[in-house]
A and B are shown apart, each in its own frame.
Chain A
């Protein structure tokens, strides 16, 4: 099996899966019925994309594997999602800041992945671009609303952006798998996305009358399977059914 390709797919797919799970936690708990449905839609978009990636990943194995095996039966250290997306929902400001900081990256990334030499990845990316465009529009709008809203919403969204900022740099960290895949014309050169990413993010933050954090020290580890303390709880929810009733179907 092409280990680099497998790891490469996992980083993309796990990031979608874990963010989808986080948003799924809000189902029935959104601040308004309309927002609740919107967040659940985004969650389902992300999980739909995850399925495509995992089906592809499962097909790389010599032995029989399914998308469910990959989604539900790995241990914490085997998940390769970025740390940003596993951060808890804390309050609506965090949900939107996390979403926004991811969406800007996600859309840029998919637009590059669409040109991958790997036809499957290119096709998944192409399909995801329209979804990601809407996500970005939705979360950017909310950043502006909350930032340029009341004093309280401004303070809360600024706090969320400040706290999540430390996880943004990891989005551009090139792992061994990334380097190998870029060499083969399959993967995206993440480092090239970094500058345009921070430019776009800063523009929106400024429009939202928010401060762009000046932090120079960043957290990383997710792509190597080293996660924050929140990940274990998230996985115990995510994996509960498969662990309690192995091989269950519905």
Chain B
């Protein structure tokens, strides 16, 4: 496995743990193709009854934000508290908000 070219590509695994919930990122693994990635994901991530559905996507297809851009991407949102819907007085009768 030391020769990098011989490594299987990396895949990201998303598992839905219950019907009605969304798929969540569980981790990653190596596999030769999508079919093998699904089987590997089943064996590695759902062996303790964690899931009802699995998605796999090859890691190279994910475009990620660059940590060095965090300033311009995320900091402007830090002082905009008015974007949170917390300025309403809710009547007591309204539950679960």
Binding site for B on A (CB under 8 A): 32-35, 37-38, 41, 134, 137-138, 141, 145
Partner of B29, one of A34, A134, A137, A138: A34
Q: Contacts A41-B43, A138-B39 known; A34 to B32 CB distance under 8 Å?
A: no
Binding site for A on B (CB under 8 A): 1, 8, 29-32, 35-36, 39-40, 42-44, 47
Listed by A's residue number, 25 A-B pairs whose Cβ atoms lie within 8 Å are A32-B1, A32-B8, A32-B30, A33-B29, A33-B30, A33-B44, A34-B29, A34-B40, A34-B43, A34-B44, A35-B40, A37-B43, A37-B44, A38-B39, A38-B40, A38-B43, A41-B43, A41-B47, A134-B42, A137-B39, A138-B39, A141-B36, A141-B39, A145-B32, A145-B36
Total of A-B residue pairs, C-beta within 8 Å: 29
Distance A68 CA – B36 CA, assembled complex (angstroms): 36
Distance A134 CA – B38 CA, assembled complex (angstroms): 12
Nearest chain A CB to B9 CB, angstrom units: 12
Nearest chain B CB to A155 CB, angstrom units: 18
Q: Which residue of A lies closest to B32 (CB)?
A: A145
Contacts of A134 in B (CB 8 A): 42
Is B40's CB under 8 angstroms from A141's CB? no
Is B31's CB under 8 angstroms from A34's CB? yes
Nearest chain B CB to A44 CB, angstrom units: 9
Q: Which residue of B lies closest to A149 (CB)?
A: B32
Distance A164 CA – B36 CA, assembled complex (angstroms): 25
Contacts of B32 in A (CB 8 A): 145
Taking A32-B30, A37-B44 as known contacts, 14 extra A-B pairs with beta carbons closer than 8 A to each other, sorted by chain A number, are A32-B1, A33-B29, A34-B29, A34-B30, A34-B43, A34-B44, A35-B40, A37-B47, A38-B43, A41-B43, A134-B42, A138-B39, A141-B39, A145-B36
